[in-house]
Amino acid sequence: DAKTTQPNSMESNEEEPVHLPCNHSTISGTDYIHWYRQLPSQGPEYVIHGLTSNVNNRMASLAIAEDRKSSTLILHRATLRDAAVYYCILRSSNTGKLIFGQGTTLQVKP
């Protein structure tokens, strides 16, 4: 299963945009890029996913590099409730599994 690399932690100010980077240089052509976030003592929450094109939904935007070796999760206006651990994961179309890395702990300052 291809791996992802994310910064351990990031800080943001409330109401400012946040760009969370993810490197996945060993991604294969059929791997989907998933983002989930987790609050303490809760199960992860789906944020967004994509394959090749950039994606937008009500929670965030996902920008995928042309070579697909990296991606960026964009929170357009961070709120205190966005403070969480964000996981960038590749889902193999062969195995179907989501293997979690260490994620990025996002702190949002008021």
Q: How far is the CB of 22 from other proteins (least distance, A)?
A: 14
How many residues make contact with other proteins (CB under 8 A)?
Answer: 22
Q: Which of 55, 91, 102, 90 lies closest to 74, judged by CA?
A: 55
Q: Which is nearer to other proteins, 13 or 30 (CB)?
A: 30
Instruction: Using alpha carbons, list the distances in angstroms from residue 9 to 1, 19, 84, 86.
Output: 24, 12, 10, 9
Q: Which is nearer to other proteins, 89 or 108 (CB)?
A: 89
Binding mask 71-110 for other proteins (x = CB under 8 A): ----------------x---x---xxxxxxxxx-------
Binding mask 29-68 for other proteins (x = CB under 8 A): ---x-x-x-x--xxxxxx--x-------------------
Q: Does 7 bind other proteins (CB under 8 A)?
A: no
Q: How far apart are CA 5 and CA 35, in angstroms?
A: 13
Q: Is residue 92 a contact partner of residue 3, using CB atoms and an 8 Å limit?
A: no
Binding stretches for other proteins (CB under 8 A): 32, 34, 36, 38, 41-46, 49, 87, 91, 95-103
